């Protein structure tokens, strides 16, 4: 007798919980594959896309930081502006980006930083910029402030407040028209989001093309899986502190990037993890608006992941 979720979900409290467009059987089949198959290339992957396995979170942070710094240095050498869409997490990468930029003495005065999201209420009102827990405060402390004299000029830093986020599409379009390169740095959510662009938003668009044009959302309603993920990763398990809404960029910005730098570091120790199921779907589900992360392999770039996430994803008591 089978007692897994797929065979017992009907009539349970979870019926209707998962995004309506998710093919759970498909996701389960992917997650059940042998670990060595994680890197198998799909026809729809960009020729310049590469998943890169890492033995530790430390290794992943170093490689992501070096990759970010390399983009800054290359743009400088080419005489181009660089528009960077940046996440707050994984955060360890910023230390290593700073380290390389300092060693090479490369100024970031040609860089424009766009934070991809920020906690909000349903109307898009955000925390004060210097409030503990705000993404702006975290980014200032972890990256901009520590760069010192090499830092991105304050007027070239964009944070996802209600007013400022509205300016992203026009500003990024203007930079690209002047020859700037657009690079998105991202993580993969438990609910397969990129930034806080959630899977259930797909139901609001007439078709994929309309979904792809959406540049941002003010007061985006978060999925319960996203809230619980952040309770674990950012709020020390205190679910009651996690906001239910956020301001976020959309596919009309992150899918326009010339290059992507991704990270999947969701291991918790003692054999526990939260991200392997999501990583398999991001890489192999196939592009689908109900699975936003499934589009990232269509961009040139690298996705760094902890090898433990590849599996085998089998039951184990810890």
pLDDT in tens, 234-248: 999 999 999 999 999
Supply the mean pLDDT for the chain.
97
Tokens of 100: 């390389």
Query: Could you tell me whether strands 157-158 and 111-115 are parallel, antiparallel, or unpaired per DSSP bridges?
Result: parallel
Paired tokens of 105: 């003495």
Q: Answer yes or no: is pLDDT of 1 > 80.
A: no
pLDDT single digits (tens) 184-230? 999 999 999 999 999 999 999 999 999 999 999 999 999 999 999 99
How large is the average pLDDT for residues 162-181?
A: 98
pLDDT tier for residue 39 given thresholds of 50, 70 and 90: very high
Question: Is the pLDDT reported for residue 252 higher than 80?
Answer: yes
**Hey, which bits of the chain come out as E strands?**
49-54, 82-86, 111-115, 117-120, 157-158, 181-187, 216-221, 245-249, 259-264, 267-269, 272-273, 301-306
Closest alpha carbon to 64 in 155, 159, 143, 148: 143
Report whether pLDDT(133) > 90: no
Q: Is 50 a residue whose pLDDT tops 90? A: yes
286 pLDDT higher than 90:
yes
Cβ atoms of 304 and 64 within 8 Å: the answer is yes
Instruction: Judge contact between 309 and 57, C-beta under 8 A.
Output: no
Q: Are 301 and 261 in contact (CB under 8 A)?
A: yes
**Which of the four pLDDT bands, split at 50, 70 and 90, describes residue 318?**
confident
In this structure, of 18-27, 62-71, 123-132, 271-280, the range with the lowest mean pLDDT score is 123-132
Q: Is residue 22 part of a domain?
A: no
Structure tokens that stand for 9 in this block: 């979900």
The domain tally of the chain equals 1
The answer on pLDDT for 73 being more than 80 is yes
* Residue 236 domain-assigned (yes or no): yes
pLDDT exceeds cutoff 80 at 125: yes
- Is position 146 within any domain? yes
Residue 168 lies inside a defined structural domain of this protein:
yes
Domain contains 199: yes
Distance of CA 286 to the CA centre of its chain: 17
Indicate yes or no: pTM above 0.95. Answer: yes
Identify whether 234 is part of a domain.
yes
Which CATH number do you get for residue 290? 3.40.50.1360
Find the mean pLDDT for residues 247-269.
Answer: 98
Assigned domain for 84 exists: yes
CA distance 73 to 75: 5
Does residue 67 form part of some domain?
yes
Residue 273 structural domain: 50-310
* pLDDT at res. 8: 96
What SS3 state is found at 48? coil
């Amino acid at each position: 007798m089978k007692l897994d979720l797929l065979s017992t979900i009907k009539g349970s409290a979870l019926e209707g919980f998962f995004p309506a467009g998710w093919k759970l059987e498909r996701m389960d089949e992917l997650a059940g594959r042998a670990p060595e198959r994680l890197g198998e290339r799909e026809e729809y992957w960009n020729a310049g896309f590469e998943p890169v396995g890492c033995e530790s979170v430390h290794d992943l942070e170093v490689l992501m930081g070096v990759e970010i710094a390399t983009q800054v240095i290359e743009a400088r050498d080419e005489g181009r502006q660089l528009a960077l869409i940046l996440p707050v997490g994984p955060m360890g990468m910023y230390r290593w980006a700073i380290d390389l930029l300092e060693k090479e003495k490369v100024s970031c005065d040609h860089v424009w930083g766009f934070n991809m999201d920020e906690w909000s209420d349903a109307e898009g009102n955000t925390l004060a910029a210097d409030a503990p827990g705000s993404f702006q405060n975290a980014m200032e402390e972890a990256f901009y402030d520590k760069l010192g004299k090499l830092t991105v000029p304050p007027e070239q830093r964009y944070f996802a407040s209600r007013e400022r986020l509205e300016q992203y599409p026009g500003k990024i379009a203007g930079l690209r028209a002047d020859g700037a390169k657009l690079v998105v740095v991202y993580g993969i959510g438990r609910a397969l989001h990129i930034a806080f662009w959630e899977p259930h938003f797909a139901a609001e668009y007439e078709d994929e093309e309309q979904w792809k044009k959406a540049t941002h959302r003010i007061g985006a309603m978060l999925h319960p899986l996203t809230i619980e993920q952040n309770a674990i990763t950012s709020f020390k398990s205190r679910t009651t502190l996690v906001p239910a809404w956020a301001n976020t960029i959309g596919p009309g910005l992150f899918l326009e990037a010339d290059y992507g730098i991704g990270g999947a570091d969701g291991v918790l120790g003692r054999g526990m993890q939260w991200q392997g199921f999501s990583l398999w779907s991001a890489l192999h589900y196939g592009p689908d608006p109900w699975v936003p992360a499934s589009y990232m392999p269509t961009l040139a770039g690298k996705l760094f992941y902890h090898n433990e996430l590849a599996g085998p994803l089998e039951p184990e008591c810890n």
